[in-house]
Every structure is written in structure tokens, then in C-alpha cells.
Amino acid sequence: MDFKTEFKPLTVQPQEIEGISFQMIKDELGEHPFTEEQFPIVQRVIHASADFELGRSLVFQPDAVQAGIEAIRAGKRVVADVQMIQAGVSQDRLKRFGGGIDVYISDPDVIEEAKRLNTTRAIISMRKAIREADAGIFAIGNAPTALLELIRMVKEGEAKPGLIIGLPVGFVSAAESKDELRKLDIPYITNIGRKGGSTIVVSVINALSLLAVKQD
């Protein structure tokens, strides 16, 4: 039996490929619980991951999407836990409104303080961000300890983010940190389970910034 097939590459523009992909996602996802404003974010998450299970696992606090759009349009900063998010986000759209993205995890003072306290740089970076950044959005895709520390600061009144995007990936405390996030009474975008990651967070921020631009 001959299993060989002829591969024919698509000869279409990138925008067309994206449009075709999004339509395929919509068709394959079928019925879903997401609102009209949430669905573009779900689409981009699935587009970035090719993972429908991950897309279906997303959870939105009811005010989350609008809170993210308002933070971006107000020029608020985005604080991320790792540089990979900073590298992937479309910063031109953030800069359009006077915003940008900050990452503190590799700052020398963060590294020194983490060593002194025998704790993680992710935890110390969140503490520094609360002190220094006029942040509207905290975006965490790698470090559950960063998310847990941010949750602690929210509970203790030390932090009041406009939106938390909490999608850390992994086995140790990743799912549990998201469980704790869903208990907060503030805007959040997260998911259920271990899946997530920096590329997924990037897709969420980029989706929010596109929605922010569309409101012009």
C-alpha cells in the first residue's frame, strides 16, 4: 500500500492563512461557553498552541477582557514574569497608547535579594514590580511562585492590578496557583490545569491589544 501523498504548499498571504486558521478553529471548537468579547482571545490561544483542550480550559472573570482593554488604552504598563513574554508581545500596539512591558526577574537587585532571602527571583520580581511599575496588567506564564506571591499581595492589600493573566505552565504548583487566582474578586484570565506558558500569555496580551486598537 502506498502511503505517499503529494504536499502542495499554500500560496496565500499571511493574513489569509490566519483567517483560514481562525475559521478552522471556530468550526472545530463548535459550541462553547465563551462570550463574544472572550472568544477572540480563546481563538488566539488555540492558534498559538494548536491545543483545543487548552482553549476550552480558559476561565475569564466577567470583567476581565474589558479591564485589560481599558488598562492598555490608558497606557498602563504590563508586568511579565519572564523575558520570553516581553519578546513575543506586539509592543507597537502597547506603545500606541503610551504603555509598554516590564520584566524584573533578571535585575541585579532582584537576584541579590532573592539570594539574601533564599527565595525565588520570581517572588522578588513581583514585589519590585508592585513598588515601581504603574502596572495595569500582570502577565505570568512561567513561574507559579510569581502568581502565588501576587495573589498574596492582593489579599493583603499591597497590590491592586487591573488584570491578572495567570497561565503558568508546569507540574509544581501551576494548577494550584490558578485555583487560588480564581478565588480572587478581581479581573483575571486563567485556565484550569497544568497547561499554559509564555507563548500562551503572549497570545492573550496580543489579543487584548488588538481589541484595544479596534475601539479607536
Task: Give the residue numbers annotated as catalytic, written as ranges.
Answer: 47
**Percentage of the residues of the chain whose pLDDT score is greater than 70:** 93
Q: Please check the confidence at residue 129 and state whether its pLDDT lies above 80.
A: yes
Split into its structural domains, the chain has a count of 1
Residue 143 belongs to a domain: yes
Q: Please check the confidence at residue 4 and state whether its pLDDT lies above 70.
A: no
Termini Cα distance of the chain: 58
Question: What's the pLDDT band for 37 if we cut at 50, 70, 90?
Answer: very high
**Exposure on the CB side of residue 166, measured as CA atoms within 13 A:** 35
Q: Please check the confidence at residue 3 and state whether its pLDDT lies above 60.
A: no
Q: Please check the confidence at residue 17 and state whether its pLDDT lies above 90.
A: no
Residue 7: per-residue pLDDT: 56
Q: Please check the confidence at residue 147 and state whether its pLDDT lies above 90.
A: yes
Domain ranges, residue 124: 57-214
Residues 6 or more apart whose Cβ sits within 8 Å of residue 33:
none
Whichever domain contains 195, its CATH number is 3.40.50.10230
Residue 127 belongs to a domain: yes
